[in-house]
Structure 1
Amino acid sequence: MMAHNDSLHRGPRPLRTPPGWLDAQRICLYAAFVLLVNIGYLSLRIWFGCIDRIPNVSPPGWDYAVFWSASWLALHGPAASVFDTALIERIALPLQNMLPTPFVTPWTYPPTFLLVMLPAALLPFAVSCFVYVSAGIAFAYHACVRILPTVRNPGWWLPVIAFPAIWVAAAAGQNSFLTFGLMGLGLIALDRRPWLAGICFGLLAIKPQLGLVIPVALLFGRHWRALASASLTVGVFCALAGMVLGFDTFARFAQALPAFSQFVVEYSDRWPRGILTVFGAARHFGVAVPTAYGLHAVVAALAASAVAWLWATRATFELRASVLVLATLLVPTYVMPYDLLWLGLPILWLVRDGGRNGWLRGDGVAMVSAWLSPLIFYTPGDWAAGVYVPVIVLAMLMVVVRRHLAQHAAHAGEGASTALAYEQSGSNVCVR
């Protein structure tokens, strides 16, 4: 019996509180320092990109310049012209303060995102960019509050505001806030409002590579209504984009993808700061393209399998949501620093899960590393520091899997202890 009881307690032991080096005072101190780094980098971008105007130093909104340029072209001519790189660079490069370089500035998004961005050029570029980024931040913040209501408390503001990915995505003028909000709100609505969740997931068709793992989760989690809603939303979204912009935009998009993929492969071994995927890391270290794809496929398959497993076995919601987001960052071969805003989702969910179920040793190190990882954007381009990001994302994935195993073992132990207590109680009754 003693051996049986010991076996119930094998495995990682939960901690009742977070590690001592992650108390509230230290978190605020770390966050304040990182916030100063964020502000300093953005200030340099504003000074050298807007005021001093040093060539090839882009002011804030450098990626939004491509979105705004695509909107202008679509409003003033055939929408399919946005896929002509020469036309879009003629408008975008001056806004980006960039000289022509081998790193082209193409439009590589589907017509669904072009439909969303169509009104952008109705406003001047600077005003349009400010409105777009502000609305995106508000939408993402709403998702954060729904995930972890304590984010509203003043004590949470500093680590949330200092998260480097917020500053990277805002400075670029990227769509990460929109996709962050759609994924977060979709997962929050999944159990109680599956049709609304499916709509949120379907709207991620603006950036299809971020929706690759969602069907795996919905299938293995048996969320049929959400899956049907997502499929219907994608179909209606694409049909609406085709009717407004012309269905030839889908043909041009299909033609543009292979060319961009070839461009990425050609420069993948010397991409500034590296491509933040297993494929990008392998190429940076000189691995041949077929082998790099093979290594990436292995990791992607493992990540998708983890999603299937946790969703099929009904892990806690926080762990299921976290593993889906982390796998989404591991499956595509092309991930950029602004996409790391999505790491905020598993960090928030793991904080919530840790508050309910305790912590394991090493959880804090992985979460802090994930929170800091977007700082790689501030490093010199030739450092290619981003190639180490997949290791951090994988570490976060292992944190989720390990927590699931620990919680499953704890529940099994509680069940066995309860059964043993009933058995002993019955024996005592018989003796009497």
Structure 2
Amino acid sequence: MHDDFVQSRSRLLHRAPRWLDAQRIRAYAAFVLLVNIGYFSLRIWLGAIDPVPNVSPPGWDFAVFWSASWLALHGPAVNAFDTALIEPIALPLQNMLPSAFVTPWTYPPTFLLVMLPAALLPFQVSCVAYLLAGTAFAFKACARILPPVRDLSWWLPVVAFPAIWVTVGAGQNSFLTFALMGLGLVCLERRPWLAGILFGLLAIKPQLGLMIPVALVFGRNWRAFISAALSVGVFCALSGFVLGFGTFARFAEALPAFSQFVVQYSDRWPRGILTVFGTARHFGVAVPTAYLLHAIMAALAASAVAWLWATRASFELRASALVLATLLVPTYLMPYDLLLLGLPILWLVRDGTRNGWIRGDAVAMVSAWLSPVVSYTPGGWAAGAYVPFIVFALLLVVMRRYVVQRAVSANTCACMVEAEEHSSTVSRL
């Protein structure tokens, strides 16, 4: 009887595939790390040392943040939303010439408040300080997820994750959003009020917080939900008092204009928009149909989150589903946003180490780990069109693991009941 259960479990869950053992993982990661360093060095050379027009040096997106900070410090904060004012400051820092692809500030006042001190330092110094602080915060989240290991080489796949280098190259806020999401989920069970505060701080990039209320409501995490709502309210109020509440009105005006700009160029966006909407537009689908296809994918992703959180799946699977749905729901996503993929990959590694693997898991996880390299491709080749399918495949991996683990658990309970009945019968005899 026990042997039957073990055999049924072995048919469902396996060891990690041989092509992904520890030694090979380190070798693959080392190779990808060299590619990352090579591309990063090339951007430094062509963007700063021997500049070529329209080749941006590392920190090209931080140039927008720094420029918005400078405008807010030297005049009304609403000036940050004026493209005519921000481009003359940002474009020289980006080594870019004026083009149809504008450089606007489209972030909410909450993020402008966070970035307000940036221009107190020279651009290069401020950029380095910002990235070091964000990287430390993100690695703190990784350390809370990964089990303690003595062999530091296990950190090699983390350091080699291409999204880290894409984020550093852009000077983006993805390290901050990664840490807020990761640490918020880590704290959820034991410190729900702190988790809610961390989730509330994601108001710096609201589109990445759309799935959090769904998860908290269906998971019945009411204290975290209340804490998150209060944190958002306090954060917005503080931003209004410091920057002026007129910044919220300007932000509301800037959003439709930027959305229209994205739609206008969505069929020829450099390297693609990494969403179902962007994929559909890349292949020539009309805008209304592209929105419909995206809405279907978003509904599927949200349903997966609701199901896994309502049925109290294991923490690793619930957290992974939430992050993956966060990447599938917005219509606009860039390669640096894929840093969030590191969270479900880490949690699935932990879950697989504990519960075993299913065939196909490793392929989906490695594909997701490699997917940010779309940022290295030529601008005319929209390799990002395939990224949403990789993210959705990883979500399917999470759901399949839950179904299999529930089946294994049910078999375990059935075997235990049958064994107890058998033992009782024998004792009576």
In 1, the alpha carbon distance for the partners of 2:321 and 2:413 equals: 26
CA contact (8 A) 1:367 1:396 kept: yes
1:2-401 to 2 correspondence within 5 Å? 9=8, 13-15=12-14, 17-150=15-148, 153-401=151-399
Partner AA of 2:272 in structure 1: G
| Letter of the 2:267 counterpart | D
Code of the residue aligned with 1:14 in structure 2: it is: L
Question: Could you tell me which amino acid in structure 2 is paired with residue 418 of structure 1?
Answer: M
Report the Cα distance in structure 2 between the residues aligned to 1:114 and 1:147, rounded to whole angstroms: 30
Unpaired runs of at least 5, structure 1: none
Identity of aligned residues (%): 76
When the two structures are superposed, what TM-score results if normalisation uses the length of structure 2?
0.97
**1:9 shift after superposition:** 3.8
Whole-angstrom CA distance in 2 between matches of 1:399 and 1:180? 21
Distance in 2, Cα, partners of 1:11 & 1:293: 42
Q: CA RMSD in A?
A: 1.6
Kept after mapping to 2: 8 A contact 1:269/1:285: yes
Letter in 1 for 2:291: Y
Query: Could you tell me how far apart the structure 2 residues matched to 1:157 and 1:204 are?
Result: 26
Note if contact 1:145-1:152 (Cα within 8 Å) is conserved in structure 2: no
User: Aligned partner of 2:37: which letter?
Assistant: I
Residue 150 of structure 1 deviates from its aligned partner by 3.5
- Cα deviation, 1:210-261, whole Å, max 9, x if unaligned, reads 0000000000000000000000000000000000000000000000000000
User: Where does 1:384-423 land on structure 2 (aligned, <5 Å)?
Assistant: 384-423=382-421
Cα deviations by residue, 1:193-216 (Å, 9 ceiling, x for unpaired): 000000000000000000000000
Per-residue CA shift, 1:316-348, capped at 9, x if unaligned? Answer: 000000000000000000010000000000010
CA distance in 2, matches of 1:185, 1:367: 21
Taking the aligned partners of 1:103 and 1:12, their CA distance within structure 2 comes to 52
Residue 426 of structure 1 and its aligned partner are, at CA, apart by 2.5
Q: Would you say the 8 A contact 1:113–1:206 is kept in 2?
A: yes
| Structure 1 position 137, deviation (Å) | 0.3
Code of the residue aligned with 2:174 in structure 1: it is S
Whole-angstrom CA distance in 2 between matches of 1:295 and 1:213: 19
Please tell me whether the aligned partners of residues 12 and 406 of structure 1 are also in contact (alpha carbons under 8 angstroms).
no
Q: CA deviation at 1:429?
A: 3.3
Q: 1:32 touches 1:158 (CA, 8 Å); kept in 2?
A: yes
Residue 12 of structure 1: CA displacement? 6.0
Q: Distance in 1 between matches of 2:149 and 2:297?
A: 33
- SS of structure 2 residue aligned to 1:381: coil
CA offsets, 1:290-310, max 9 Å, x none? 110000000100000000000
On the 8 A contact 1:112/1:237 being kept in 2, the answer is: yes
On the 8 A contact 1:151/1:157 being kept in 2, the answer is: no
Give, as a single letter, the amino acid of the residue that structure 2 aligns with 1:155. S
2:9–2:408 contact (8 Å) kept in structure 1: no
2:126 & 2:220 partners in 1: Cα distance?
A: 41
Count matched residues.
428
Distance in structure 1 (CA, Å) of the matches to 2:114 and 2:203: 11
What are the superposed Cα offsets for residues 60-118 of structure 1, whole Å, 9 maximum, x if unpaired? Answer: 10000000000000000000011100100010000000000100000000000000000
The 2-side partners of 1:344 and 1:133 are apart by 18
1:157 Cα deviation after fit: 2.3
Contact 1:31 1:158 in 2 (8 A): yes
Query: In 2, are the aligned partners of 1:19 and 1:364 still within 8 Å (CA)?
Result: yes
Answer whether contact 2:109 2:236 (CA < 8 A) is retained: yes
User: Take 2:37 and 2:191, find their aligned partners in 1: how far apart are those partners?
Assistant: 39
Counterpart residue type for residue 89 of structure 1: E
Q: Distance in 2 between matches of 1:423 and 1:33?
A: 56
Q: TM-score by structure 1 length?
A: 0.97
